[in-house]
Structure 1
């Protein structure tokens, strides 16, 4: 499937994806530690929130740093998820959940899988 040329240019805009990645990291960190009710719509299940957040991070990582492959982002993003869980364990309003970390890893793998399928079926290639 051939995409319009502006879409290819957008896919190649690594600065945009890296900026969105940094904003997402900041937002996810804030949401992970706030004691306030979420000011944004969220899923009924905390596990779905984790899965979606880390799927987004994986997609942004794939677009922003296309040469990395899977393992470095998997390790770094899983480490970020672990750091969030450990940080939450010392707050009075959150706690550590290994199942949240598992949802993070599944989200990372799904995000990378979706991007792999997207690139395969659209003839789009991430910038080198």
Structure 2
């Protein structure tokens, strides 16, 4: 699982550095893609290691999102965005809310 996480994270960096293809016609589609990507990375990282979610995984995930924004700021064809970083953080938080709070409680109730 760790290799899958690392491989997809590297692909994500590559995709983030490609020239933008324009608007999809759907408002805020870019923000949904950021949140969805970091949600997926949170799933993979959570499955890949038993380390602390808030103490280790969240800093890694948010560091990844910040790194992508920094790299985009260094290009002439992309731009960094605090809103994109906020969408990244929202994706991580959404994962935590869905899995850690809602689904685990549901699973525990089913076991008892």
TM (norm. structure 2) is 0.80
Q: Quick one: distance in 1 between partners of 2:104 and 2:16?
A: 31
Q: Quick one: distance in 1 between partners of 2:31 and 2:92?
A: 13
Aligned to 2:82: 98
Q: Residue by residue, what CA displacement relative to the aligned partner does 1:55-83 show, whole Å, maximum 9, x if unpaired?
A: 00111111111332323211111111111
1:66-105 alignment, distance < 5 Å: 66-105=50-89
Q: Quick one: distance in 2 between partners of 1:64 and 1:57?
A: 10
Aligned to 1:29: 13
Q: Quick one: distance in 1 between partners of 2:67 and 2:90?
A: 17
**Is 1:113 matched up with 2:97?**
yes
Q: Return the structure number with greater helix share.
A: 2
Listed as ranges, the gaps of 5+ residues in structure 1 are 1-16, 124-128
Q: Quick one: distance in 1 between partners of 2:71 and 2:93?
A: 23
1:1-40 alignment, distance < 5 Å: 17-35=1-19, 37=21
Q: Quick one: distance in 1 between partners of 2:25 and 2:48?
A: 26
Task: Report if aligned partners of 2:20, 2:77 keep a CA contact under 8 Å in 1.
Answer: no
**Offset of residue 36 of structure 1:** 6.5
1:43/1:27 CA distance change after superposition, 3 Å: farther
